[in-house]
Structure 1
């Protein structure tokens, strides 16, 4: 008798379609909120990556249009622009601008100068091997490229399994209206003249002067 009653109650329970909406909401709502948080966090990460890359393009395009030498103040203002576009703070964002030149006789890119705003290190000729795959395989002798790199620490707003990570962007442009991009430091330029100036210092090669020969000595950045 007891077993028959239990079976009847079980069948009645499985067939019963009545319920309380509040109970169902309490069960489903946490799952829905978690899924919403996951979607928001990953979408925001991809959005921020896109924003940072577009900010990189904007800075690189602006620098490529310059015809006057740029200096530390110019780079600081470019960093301020990066912060504005990415809505980040100075401690989270770094900017590095470098200029490389193609050495036709050696069939390779060498560093002309590199400058940083933030905590990153300046680019060196020893780092150029890491950029071979990112640069054109060949170019006209003496052609310059402006490399713009940014770093930004991204912290997800919710803890849904995505750890904080660093957003790094990269782009390169040719100088648009001049054959070279100058960088001034302490009142002197980086040694690239109009072909008839004497480079600062004792060596055309070490100062990267425009009228230097195709030196075999490595070119060092500023």
Structure 2
């Protein structure tokens, strides 16, 4: 008797369809919210990366057009502009350097370098060797402006993405003068 009642109740429970949408909504809602938050988080990461790259290109382009000497006030204004363009101010740092190539010795020398933010050392003749493979081919006695920017992306939601260090290495050739003077 109990077996028949339990079998009958189980069969009736299996065939009922009322409440199915509520159960499906209960199961799918967390997945839907996670998908929306993950999409927003990844979009923000790409947006910040693109802003970081655009800011680095803008700094390089502005310096490439200079005909007068670059000083600390000018570099500070570049740092302020970088902060305005990137919007997220988490650990902003950049290094600007002007590099000269000498064909006779097949080496690069640093004319001047300026740092702001978290960079701990300026680019020097000793450590420019580490960048040799990243630099483009240059003709004898030509200069190149190197702009290195870094910014930490902090995800707005925890969706499996940790903090990401967004690093950029941009080089630009001076437009009007072969060598941009610096007093930094």
TM-score, scaled relative to structure 2 = 0.90
Aligned to 1:27: 27
CA root-mean-square deviation: 1.8
Report the secondary structure of 1:177's partner residue. Answer: coil
The structure whose residues are more often helix, as a share, is 2
Q: Is 2:88 the partner of 1:98?
A: no
Change (3 A) 1:12 1:129: farther
The structure whose residues are more often strand, as a share, is 2
1:17 Cα deviation from its structure 2 partner:
2.1
Report the secondary structure of 1:9's partner residue. Answer: helix
Q: How far apart in 1 are the matches of 2:11 and 2:44? A: 48
Q: How far apart in 2 are the matches of 1:83 and 1:27? A: 43
Q: How far apart in 1 are the matches of 2:13 and 2:64? A: 74
- Count residues in correspondence: 183
Q: Is 2:114 the partner of 1:115?
A: yes
Q: Deviations over 1:178-216 (max 9, x none)?
A: 11111024xxxxxxxxxxxxxxxxxxxxxxxxxxxxxxx
Q: How do residues 43-192 of structure 1 correspond to structure 2 at under 5 angstroms?
A: 43-89=43-89, 92-120=91-119, 121-136=121-136, 138-185=137-184
Report the secondary structure of 1:180's partner residue. Answer: coil
1:98 Cα deviation from its structure 2 partner:
0.4
Q: How far apart in 1 are the matches of 2:144 and 2:14? A: 72
1:22 Cα deviation from its structure 2 partner:
4.5
Higher mean displacement: 97-106 or 35-44: 35-44
Higher mean displacement: 6-15 or 31-40: 6-15
1:111 Cα deviation from its structure 2 partner:
1.7
Q: Deviations over 1:6-61 (max 9, x none)?
A: 33333333332221645543332222111211121122111111110011111111
